[in-house]
Amino acid sequence: MPIHIPFEDFVASAGPEHTKFIANIHSYLQENNCIAKIKTAASGYVVSYIHKPTNKTVLNYIFRKKMPLMRLYADNVNEYEALVNSLPVSMKNTIRAGGDCKRLTDPTACNSKCRMGFNFMLDEERQRKCRCHNSFAFFLNDETKPHLFELMKQELQARIHNT
């Protein structure tokens, strides 16, 4: 039987400077038909938000270097490229640094169960990023949080529209 982990335990571990942001994301996702699943890992909590109609993960929180990181599964990134192109340079550099998707260049190059990565334009340059190599994974800080909230909203709205 899975162990129930209170959401408040995760919020407390993320630090007081992130409480309001995490609560706002949590409320927005719950209001838009997503459920949170919380597990523990060696580096801290892992919180995944699943969009119920598609049964696909929208985002998750993980910890690296004892700091919370939000990873967005940007399945519909091509529908909000303008937003991605307006991100601060540091966030664009994080996206560029993420691993490239092998299957987008050669469909036989990766596991056949791989859902493929994200194919989009960033500053007029084609990006083919792997969904598992943290292209859309950002540490929570004052610079990233406003943009992360907007990215999450755009991704969720695209999923709702495409369902």
What is the phi-psi region of residue 44: left when phi exceeds 0, alpha when psi lies from -120 to 50, beta otherwise?
A: left
Helix (H) or strand (E) holding 141: none
pLDDT band at 2 (very low <50, low <70, confident <90, very high): low
Question: pLDDT-derived band of residue 133, with 50, 70 and 90 as boundaries?
Answer: confident
Residues 119 and 127 sit within 8 Å (Cβ to Cβ): yes
Domain ranges of the chain: 7-162
Q: What predicted TM-score, i.e. pTM, was given to this entire model?
A: 0.91
Give the chain's mean pLDDT. 92
CA distance 83 to 77: 9
